Amino acid sequence: MRILEALAKACAILAGLLLTGITLMTCGSLIGRNTTGQSIVGAFELTAVAAGAAIALFMPLCQVRRGNIIVDFFTARARPATTDKMDRLGALVLAAIFALLAWRTTLGGLNSYSTHSETQIMGFPEWIVYAAMVPAFVLAGLIALYQSVVGFGRTEEAETAI
């Protein structure tokens, strides 16, 4: 799990760098537009593609930290063993969903590559965004699969504290 967690953190750092870059680009475009009348052409396109990739790149760390939505209304009074089994089942379902996302994103990226699909203004190749998303979805799926098989590393002391 340490390797998966390290890869998840690397994905999150990359996502943070992407978001920082588009934030700086947007600021530069706005400052230029308001001071000299010149803005960065296609900045909104780059913002869209970077944000899409960043969202996918944050998914593995979200899964590692169990940051997905958990509705515990029905399990609040359940035994820890029951809750653990349900959490593992939920992780298995998420693993399947991430596998499906990775598969469909791969197909979308291959289609985008073969048709030479580009953004309208800058002509940025769209397949690059798909290529950034697929490894993140695969990693998130592997993390969820690991969690469904091995569990979440809870101890009895942590369970009694809850």
Residue 77 near residue 156, CB atoms below 8 Å? no
Q: How far is Cα 82 from Cα 85, in angstroms, rounded to an integer?
A: 5
* Residues 33-86: tens digit of each pLDDT: 889 988 888 888 889 889 999 999 999 999 998 877 666 777 778 888 888 888
Vertex 47, ends 39 and 62: CA angle to 5°?
A: 155
State the pLDDT at residue 71.
67
State the pLDDT at residue 39.
84
pTM for this prediction: 0.81
* Residues 98-125: tens digit of each pLDDT: 999 999 999 999 999 999 998 888 888 9
Please tell me the number of Cα atoms within 13 Å of 148 on its side-chain side.
14
Q: What kind and span of H or E run contains 149? A: helix 127-150
State the pLDDT at residue 157.
37
State the pLDDT at residue 69.
66
